[in-house]
Structure 1
C-alpha cells in the first residue's frame, strides 16, 4: 500500500459501473488513489454497479436510469451540476476531476463542470470509420460531437496511439497527457494462483471481452474453425443468443464454450495456453497486460492503438494485421509451439507510474 503525505481530493465521472474495460479501469484507479491516502469520489449517471469497491470511496448516483433524448440530456446535466456543487460545498474543491466515456463526457460538458480532464480510452477515428459504413451522416455528426467536446480541453489518453489519433485524425487542438492504466502485478499473480472449476477442460485458449462488433468474435470463430485444434476455445463474455448462433452456424458447438464474465478472471487466463485479442480497435487493452503478468502466451491484432505499445521487442511477433482470419489461425498455431513469454518490460503500466502522472496533473 502507498501513502501520500499530502492527500488530495479526486472525483471520477462515469456513466455507470457495468462490466467493461473503462469501468474496470476507473475502479482500479479510484482504489489505488484511495490506498495512497487520497479522498476519492465516484459520480455515476445511472444506477448500474457491477463492481465491488471500498466504502471509503464515496459514490453518488444521479438517476436510476439514463434520461433519453435532448431534454433528458439537459436534465441530467442540470442535476449533475447541482450534485457536483453540493459535494464541493461539503468536501471542498477537488484537485483533480476526470470524466470517462463519450456519453458521460457529453453530460459533463453540458453541465459546465470546471477543470475536467476527459479520459479517452479508444481510437475515435476508427469508431467513426466503422460508423461511416452504415451511415455517413451519423459518422459526420459523431465527428462534430467529438470535436465540440474535446477541442481545447484537457485530455488524458490511455495510450500514445490514442493521443496520436486525437491529434492527427480527429484533429483536435488540446493538451493531451498519456497515462496508461495501472496494474498491480503482485495482486494479479496472487489471484491467478486460485483454482479453476473442474468442469473446465484443459488444454484451452481464451478470449476475454464483451460481445460487440469491435471485439470481432466473428473473426475469432472463423479462425478457430480453420485451426481444428483438439482443445477448447473459452469465450469469457456475456451470454448472447446472437453469439451462440454464430458458434452453431460454424459447427463449433463442441469446441467453443461461452463461460460468462468472472469476478476473478486471472486463473482462467493463467491456465490457458494462449489469450487471443482480435479487435478492430482498442485504446489500451488491459487484458494483454494481465495475460503477460500471468505468464500466458498472447496474440493480438495490430489495431490502431494499444497492442503495439504493450507487445514490444520479442513480443512483436505476437501482432498480426486486423481482419485476417487465415493469418490469425496460422499465427495461433505457430505461437502455441513456442515457450510462454518472459523477460519483458511492463513498468510503464505499473501502479507507481500511474500515480506519479496522476499526482502531477492534480498538483498543477
Structure 2
C-alpha cells in the first residue's frame, strides 16, 4: 500500500476548484484505466484536485501531473473473507477516508468491483457509479441463473447515481428494471490532438482494412468479421492489430482459405498509424461499452463500418455515418457495407468527434450535481 503523487507545483487553480475522488479496481491493462487517467488529467489541468483510490497494486501507467494515486489492495485469506470481500474492502476504504479526515466534492467509482466495494462503504449514498461496459451483457452472458444476475444488477444500480459512457447502457439498465435514481450519459475522452501527433508513422503494409482490439470470439467476434470480409469480395488485405485468441483465429483463416489475405500484427503500443493508413476500420462486436476505437478511427480520417451493437457505436457514428451501422446478426449486410465503404468512403468531419474532446467531457463532470 502506498501513495504516488505527481508534481503538484504549477497547478492552474481556479476559483471554483472542486475535489474529485475516483475509485477504481485497478490502473492496469485495458481501455478503462486509460479513460480514467485521461479524465483525471483533463480535470487537473482545469485546476481541480484529483485523487484516485486504486483497490489493488496495479498501477501500470504514468500518473498525470496534479493527480494523486492511493493504492488500497485487499487480499482475502480464507473462504469466509472471500464471501465478504466487498464489505471487508469497503472497511479498508473507509479507514483510509477517516485517516484522511476530509471529504470530496464529487466521488466516482469505476468498474464493477469498485462499484461493489463503494456501495458497501460510507460513500454509497453520494457516489456516482460510472459504468464503462453494459453490465447486463457482462453478467447475463456468464453461466448461471439469469434471474440471479438480473437481481444483482437491480440491487447494484437500481436507485443509484449512475454515469454511463453511452446511451445504450442506461437503456439496458432500464430494460432490466435497474433504473437509476439519477442517470447521466458522459462519453469517454478522445484526445484528437494526441492521436493526430502519433498517427503519421509509416507501417509495413499497404492496401488493407483493419480491425483493432482484443482478438476474441466472445464479444469482439473475429469470426463474424472474417466471414463478412470473405463475402465482401474486396481486394484489400485484412489486418488485425491486437492480442488474444490467435491460434483459433488462424485456424478459421485457414478454414476460409484466406491465408494469403489476412495479417495478424499483435499488440502495438501505437496503433494509430495502422488505422491512419487503412482504407477502412471494421468493428464486428456483439457488445461494447463505448467503442472508442471508432472515434479514434474518425480522428485518423479512416471511415468505419460497425455492428449496431449495444451500446456505443450508435453514439459515435451519427448523421450520414450511421448508414454504416449493421445489425449484429446480419453478416451479409456487414459484407455489403464493407464493400461499399471501400468503394465510396464517406466524408468525415471534425464535428463527428469534437464532442469527445477533453474540455467538452471535463465540463460535463464539472456540472454533476
TM-score by length of 1: 0.87
Distance, in Å, in 2 between the alignment partners of 1:250 and 1:65 is 46
Residue 53 (structure 2) aligns with = 43
CA deviation string 1:10-67 (max 9, x = no partner): 1222222333232221121112112222222222222334433326422222338788
Structure with more helix by fraction:
1
Q: Find out whether 1:121 has 2:121 as its counterpart.
A: no
**Structure 1 residues 64 and 170: alpha-carbon distance in aligned structure 2, compared to 1, 3 A threshold:** same
* Counterpart-to-counterpart distance in 2, 1:296 and 1:238: 22
- Over 3 Å counting, the alpha-carbon distance change for 1:339 and 1:77 in structure 2 is same
CA 329–2 in structure 1, closer or farther in 2 if over 3 Å, else same? farther
| Residue of structure 1 equivalent to 2:8 | none
Q: How many residues align?
A: 355
- For residue 342 of structure 2, the aligned residue among 312, 320, 336 is 336
**Per-residue deviation, 1:104:** 2.5
How far the C-alpha of 1:176 sits from its partner, in A, is: 0.4
In structure 1, stretches of 5+ residues that fail to align are none
User: Which one is further off, 156-165 or 222-231?
Assistant: 222-231
Aligned counterpart for 1:256 among listed residues 235, 251, 262? 262
Pick the aligned partner of 1:25 from 28, 35, 40.
35
2:154 is the counterpart of 1:147: yes
Q: Where does residue 290 of structure 1 map in the other structure? A: 296
Matching residue within 227, 235, 251 for 1:230: 235
Any unmatched runs of 5+ in structure 2? 1-10
Q: Over residues 188-229 of structure 1, what are the superposed CA-to-partner deviations in whole Å (9 max), with x where a residue is unaligned?
A: 222222x134xx211221112223311111111222233354
DSSP 3-state at the match of 1:299: strand
Q: Deviations over 1:77-116 (max 9, x none)?
A: 4244334542564373111111122232122223343421
Separation in structure 1 between the aligned mates of residue 41 and residue 57 of structure 2, nearest angstrom: 19
Shift of 1:230: 3.5
Match of 2:207 among 203, 206, 231: 203
Q: What is the correspondence of 1:2-81 to structure 2 with a 5 Å cutoff?
A: 4-54=14-64, 56-63=66-73, 71-72=81-82, 74-75=84-85, 77-81=87-91
Residue aligning to 2:224: 219
Matched, 1:242 2:248: yes
Deviates more, 1:47-56 or 1:14-23: 47-56
C-alpha spacing 1:55/1:345, structure 2 compared with 1 (3 Å): closer
- Equivalent residues of 2:94, 2:121 under 8 A apart: no
User: Alignment RMSD, CA only?
Assistant: 2.7
| 2-structure distance, mates of 1:313, 1:208 | 23
Instruction: Name the structure 2 match of 1:355.
Output: 362
Q: Return closer, same or farther for 1:13/1:243 CA change in 2, 3 Å cut-off.
A: farther
